[in-house]
Amino acid sequence: MSAGPDPTINGLRLVVTAGGTREPIDPVRFIGNRSSGKMGNALAAAAIRRGAKVTLVTAGPAPPAQPGLKVVPVETAGEMHAAVRDALIGARVLIMAAAVADWRPRDVAANKLKKGADTLTIELVPTVDILRALRDDDVARDVFVVGFAAETEHVIDYARAKLDAKGLDLIVVNDVSREDIGMGADDNEVTVIGRDGTQQTIARAPKADVADAIVRIIADRLR
């Protein structure tokens, strides 16, 4: 891992998102996912080691306090979108590592839903697609945007499609059909794809090392 500041990002402000959003069903239940927030936390730490100032917008457990880190806790996709927009003012890079729910209940029950009926039907509606919304948002102008894709099949093809559709500068994709890497695991293995078609695989390693490699690639692109 890097031992000191990188002149390219030293002093820059980065926004990193982490964790899996929770979309409430009632006061005690929610729709969520298996994201632990470890990858986003590791990315924030790697950027700070290189001299950046980081705003971490997280729906997961926050890392310990440290100089250069500001933590903004959120729960839902809508809250994360609003927090990211606020944090992007004056930022140079957005690393969207959070696992944002694609769907939310249309109606949230005011009280805990009780057992009784044999079935329960919940109508779902799409959540805000944060990266797509930011694509045409002035607040993201001149921001270097890195997206993440967690896929179980056609991993590279789906990641390239997401890169193009959302106007990203880089996308980091991993195969979450594997239980030994990715969501909830301590290790990860990813492929980083650039808007120019370049593709670089970061072999399986602890998430801190993978995060450092990703931040190094971002710094190289900023040069």
Residues with a known catalytic role? 33
Tokens of 77: 């996709």
Distance between CA 175 and CA 188 in Å, rounded? 9
CA–CA dist 90, 203 (Å, integer):
33
Instruction: State in Å, rounded, how far the first CA of the chain is from the last one.
Output: 20
Query: C-alpha angle 75/79/81, rounded to 5°?
Result: 125
Q: Residue-wise over 49-84: b if at least 16 C-beta within 10 A, else e? A: bbbbbbbbbbbbebbeeeeebebbebebbebbbbbb
The burial of 39, by beta-carbon neighbours within 10 Å (0-12 exposed, 13-18 middle, 19 or more buried), is given as: buried
The DSSP output letter for 128 is: P
Tokens of 4: 């000191």
User: Which pair of tokens denotes residue 97?
Assistant: 């590592």
